[in-house]
Amino acid sequence: MGDVNVVIDGEKVSGPEGNTILEAANEAGINIPTLCHRPDLTPDGNCRVCVVEVEGAPRLVASCHTPISEGMVIQTRSPKVLAARRTVVELLLAGHTGPCVTDECAKDCELHYLAAELEVGPPRFQVKKRRSYPVETLSPYVQRDMGRCILCRRCVRACAEIAKKNVFSMAYRGFRSKVVVDCDVPLDKEACRDCGICIDYCPTSALTKPKAN
Amino acid sequence: MERNELLNMIKEEQAKNGSVSEGAMADMAQILQLPIGDVYGVTTFYSFLSTKPMGRHVIRICKSVPCFLQDGAMVAAAIEKELGISPGETTSGGRFSFELTNCIGACDQAPAMLVDDEVYGDLTPEKIGEILNSFD
Ligand code: SF4
Ligand code: FES
């Protein structure tokens, strides 16, 4: 298991076999933005925010789940990469609702931060009908507002892999995709304990602690 | 049994009972040691699987472009007129359910529809009446 040598943004970097491009870059102090990925969750590669250009590859690859291989030459900030990343964030924003959209000062939305960081301009994409669901307030531990969800599946993985509870699943398809509990019932306190892990992992305000009443 | 058995189990259930009930999903989840939500997720992913009870016969009208260009809307209108139900509904006697679906691979015969597993192409309002009458 020798080290694998790659070049990232012109810098020689080496890392153990099996490491992802993202891990190798981070190791070298090169920052690649991510959204659906967290270092302690299994990579899912669903948001495409972390795309990079690999010389000779026919298309951009998601760095969070692409392993490094010997001799790879990688660009993390080429114009092509930045344009794609911006478009990805714009598309996510087009379907996203929440306080961060209307309130410039709203905190705690990673999508909002990403948009600012990538200097995403005014909206280019219109959605005909926003996804909207009633806010789920049954559970004393987690409040779910799925209209704000960007389908990153971090809660699904965090609940399964860290809390070992498997409360959330993905259902439906395409525009109707939704993170569901059982056969799409509102989250109550039967299945869910009060660990709050999913709230910590949610990048948006889709999952929050219910206000004490 | 493994997780990759799930889709086959769901298809069998649908073939046997016409739809996949919550009870059936719970049983499969139990057998495969999966969260019920995952079974529900797979079932709702496919438009040919249903979690709601369906009529004895399921009519599926293509809403994709080739049928659209061949006046597919006429087909839907003819069926609505004939049966008195809109897409997503079932006739009160449980004879027909009517669904809109994506391409059914019969573009050469557009506008087309499926009744159960049978394709009917080059449809006209008259033909539709005849076809529907041939079902019990
Ligand atoms: S609820 Fe939050 S963590 Fe879960 S998929 Fe939606 S945005 Fe991601
Ligand atoms: S962070 Fe890599 S695809 Fe989402």
Structural domain that includes position B118? 57-133
Report chain A's C-alpha Rg in angstroms. 19
Q: From atom 3 of ligand 2, which residue's Cα is the shortest distance away?
A: A45
Report CA(A106)–ligand 2 centroid distance (Å). Answer: 24
Answer yes or no: is B18 within a domain. yes
- B69 and B13 inside one domain: no
Identify the contact set of chain A against chain B, taking CB-CB distances under 8 A: 166-173, 180-184
- Predicted confidence band of residue B26 (pLDDT cuts 50, 70, 90): very high
Residue B104 shares a structural domain with residue B125? yes
Regarding whether B85 and B110 lie in a shared domain, the answer is yes
Q: Is residue B64 part of a domain?
A: yes
Do B65 and B126 reside in the same domain of the chain? yes
Global ipTM:
0.88
Please check whether residue B84 lies inside any domain of the structure.
Answer: yes
Q: How far is CA A79 from CA A53, A60, A72, A191, B11, in A?
A: 10, 12, 19, 46, 47
- The span from the CA of A101 to the CA of A123, in Å, is 11
Confidence of residue A156 (pLDDT cuts 50, 70, 90): very high
The verdict on residue B87 lying in a domain is: yes
Name which of B6, B20, B36 to mutate to probe chain A: the one with the most chain A Cβ atoms within 10 A of its Cβ: B36
Strand order in the sheet with B89-90: B89-90, B96-101, B57-62, B113-115, B118-120
Better pLDDT: B3 or A162 = A162
Residues B7 and B70 in one domain: no
Residue B67 inside a domain? The answer is yes
- Domain containing residue B120: CATH number: 3.40.30.10
What is the pLDDT confidence band of residue A213, given thresholds at 50, 70 and 90?
Answer: low
Please tell me whether residues B125 and B72 are part of one structural domain. Answer: yes
pLDDT of residue A98: 63
Chain A residues touching B38 at Cβ < 8 A: 166, 169
Q: Please state the φ and ψ torsions of residue A172, each to the nearest 5 degrees.
A: 60, -170
Q: Please report the pLDDT score of residue B35 as a whole number.
A: 95
Which element (helix H / strand E) includes B57? strand B57-62
B91: phi then psi, degrees, rounded to nearest 5: -65, 155
pLDDT value of residue A105 = 46
pLDDT tens-digit readout, B80-122: 999 999 999 999 999 999 998 888 999 999 899 999 989 999 9
Q: Which domains does chain A have, with CATH numbers?
A: 1-129 (3.10.20.740), 143-208 (3.30.70.20)
Number of independent structural domains in chain B: 2
B126: in domain: yes
